[in-house]
Amino acid sequence: MIADFIHGPGTLVAKERGAVAAQTIIKALEQVGAEINRQHRLTSEGTDISLTLYTARELERYIRGEKTTIVSRRSAEVYYRVLRAGIEQLPQLERDLDG
């Protein structure tokens, strides 16, 4: 849904769905960060999750039309790729912390 907003014409529906998707991702990442802190006595800032969370927050601001470090659709695409890569690395982060 975030990609739909970035790649699409930016319709109101895409904007609303993209913002909801971003909020959902942010909440999930915050929960993962809290779990990391509880189980491993680390803060999420001390792990790779901090970049992923920052990226999700910036994308949410971009979708909502708020002030953000994302200055263009092309930049938003890069942030989106970073977000996807960060999410894909979460299982490995868990294995690293457990190992």
Give the residue-averaged pLDDT of 2-26: 79
For residue 5, what are its two tokens? 């907003």
Please measure the distance between the N-terminal and C-terminal CA atoms of the chain and give it in whole angstroms. Answer: 34
Q: According to the model, what pLDDT value does residue 94 have? A: 76
In Å, what is the CA distance from 23 to each residue of 28, 35, 36, 41?
9, 18, 20, 25
Q: Pick the more confident residue, 95 or 61.
A: 61
Q: According to the model, what pLDDT value does residue 90 have? A: 85
* Number of domains composing the chain: 1
pTM: 0.81
Q: Pick the more confident residue, 7 or 81.
A: 81
By residue range, what is the domain housing residue 56? 2-98
Q: According to the model, what pLDDT value does residue 68 have? A: 96
* 66, 22 contact by CB (below 8 A): no
